[in-house]
Amino acid sequence: MTSSSSRYLPLRALGELSETRYWMYLLLLPSLVMILLVIAYPTLYGMAISFRDMRLTRPGLDGWVGFKHYAGMWSDPVFWIALKNTVVWVTAAIVLELALGLLAATALNRDLPGTKIFAVLILLPYFLPNVVAGHMWALLLDPRLGVINDLLVRVGVLETYKAWFADPNTALAATVLVEAWHGFPFFALLLLAGLKSIPEDLYRAAAVDGAGVSAQLRLITLPMLKTVIAAAVILRVIGLVNSPDLLLILTGGGPGDATQVLSLYAFQTAYKEFNFGYASALSVVMFVILMIFAAAYIRLSRITKGEGDD
């Protein structure tokens, strides 16, 4: 008896604590500690490196160089190509994923009999690791063994097998296709959730007013989905800008620099040339670009406007 009451004592204290005005900060504490613990030092260290010379193969070279790496970027043609490719790659992938995701979510949301199974099938690509997805598509699009080439030749679209990753005009498009295949279920899932929360009455009312499918989409669906879309897009953009793994497997940035993006360029600079100073500077630039994008985007879409008021 006594033991149980003494066990409840701290709980009661916690309950009382929850009535104080510091309660929300206490709630935030564990996750903040967690994040700061793992992130703070690596981040500061990583940023510091970008102002130093740090080339592993030149142990003698070590010291602060100020903005040397950033100035170097200005006259580095590969940086500009990579920047342009990053923008194209991310934009194209996001647009495609959003369109496919919206299509899938709208169709699934109609809840027709037998469509549950489709939901599972459509989600499957999202379950595959990037590594697997990359190699699988490399085989599908292979210029010798690729089934897609074979099908296109049979249908008559192509005359001979095409080397998709060898032609700068198609290489980036092919990688976007792979990325879209892999990433659109994420959108489908989130958008479906968003659609479910739109009251049916709105559509019924609109239909009574004679609004067609396209008008319903424009006037109800998209505005109501705005927050979901905004959040999904921003999370996805961050993910895409930062992860080089798919391109690392599919093209390594080639042919020429046709599929070279910033994350991959930073990775190669660090781990092929061992020039960690320059690689860090590239990363910091990526980070700053993302920050600017996110700030502008959030201001435009106002997703943090919460309902938090107690």
Partner 1 sequence: MQLNKRQFLMGSAALAMAGRVGGARAANAISYWHHFTSQSEMTSLMKIIGSFQAANAGVAVTQENIPNSEYMAKVSSAVLTGGRPDTAMVIAERFADLTAMEGLIDLTERVNGWQGKANFPENRWTGLSSNGAIYAVPAFAFVDWMYYRADYFEEAGLAGPPTKFDEFLGACRKLTDPSKGRYAFGMRAGAGGFKYVIDVMEAFGSPIVKDGQPAIDRAAAVEAITFYSDLFLKEKVVPPSAPNDSYRQIMEGFRTGQTAMVWHHTGSLNEISAAMKQGNQFSTAPMPAGPKAHVARVAYAGNGIMKEDNIEAAWQWVSFWGQTDAALTLLEGTGYFPASAAALQDQRITGNPIYNAAVETLKFGRLPNNFVGAAGWSENVVNPAFQSVLTGQSTPEQAVDRMIQGLEAALR
Partner 2 sequence: MIESKRRRRTVANIATYFVLAGLSMFCIGPMIWMLLTSLKYEADIVTQTMQYIPRRVTFDNYVAIWTQSGFPRLIGNSITVTFLTVTICVATGTLAAYAFSRFAFRGRTQLMLGYLVVRMFPAVMMIIPLYVVMRGVGLVDSRFGLALAYTSFLLPLFVWMLKGFFDSAPRELESAARIDGSTRLGAMVRIVMPLARNGLVASSVFIAIAAWNEFLFALMLTTGQGSRTWPVGLQLMVGEFQLPWGVLAAGGILSILPVVVLFAIVQRTMVQGLTAGAIKG
Q: Which residue blocks in 110-167 are alpha helix, DSSP H? A: 116-123, 130-140, 147-155
Q: How far apart are the first and last CA of the chain?
A: 37
User: Considering the complex, what minimum distance in angstroms separates the CB of residue 75 from partner 1?
Assistant: 11
Residue 88 beta carbon to partner 2: minimum distance, rounded to whole angstroms: 19
Answer for which of 86, 175, 263, 269 binds partner 1 (CB under 8 A) is 269
18 contact, one of partner 2, partner 1, none, CB 5-8 Å limit per kind: partner 2
Question: Where do we find the tokens 């379950």?
Answer: 127
Collapsing DSSP to helix, strand or coil, 156 comes out as coil
CA proximity to 281, closest of 262, 304, 301, 307: 262
Least distance in Å: CB of 103 to partner 1? 31
What span, in angstroms and rounded, lies between the C-alpha atoms of 55 and 138? 34
Residue 219 to residue 181: CA distance in whole angstroms:
29
Q: Which residues inside 11-70 make contact with partner 2, applying CB under 8 A? A: 14-19, 23-25, 27-28, 30-32, 34-35, 38-39, 41-43, 45-47, 49
| Residue 129 engages partner 2 in binding (rule: CB under 8 A) | yes
Q: Could you tell me if 278 and 69 are in contact, meaning their C-beta atoms sit under 8 angstroms apart? A: yes
**272 in contact with partner 2 (CB under 8 A):** no
Which residue is it, tokens 């985007």? 297
171 contact, one of partner 1, partner 2, none, CB 5-8 Å limit per kind: partner 1
Pattern 180-219, partner 2, x by CB under 8 A: -x---x---xx-xxx-xxx--------------x------
Among 59, 75, 124, 159, binds partner 2 (CB under 8 A): 124
Residues 6 or more apart from 39 whose CB is under 8 A from it?
Answer: none
The site for partner 1 (CB under 8 A) is made up of: 56-59, 78, 142-145, 160, 162-163, 165-168, 171, 251-258, 260, 268-276
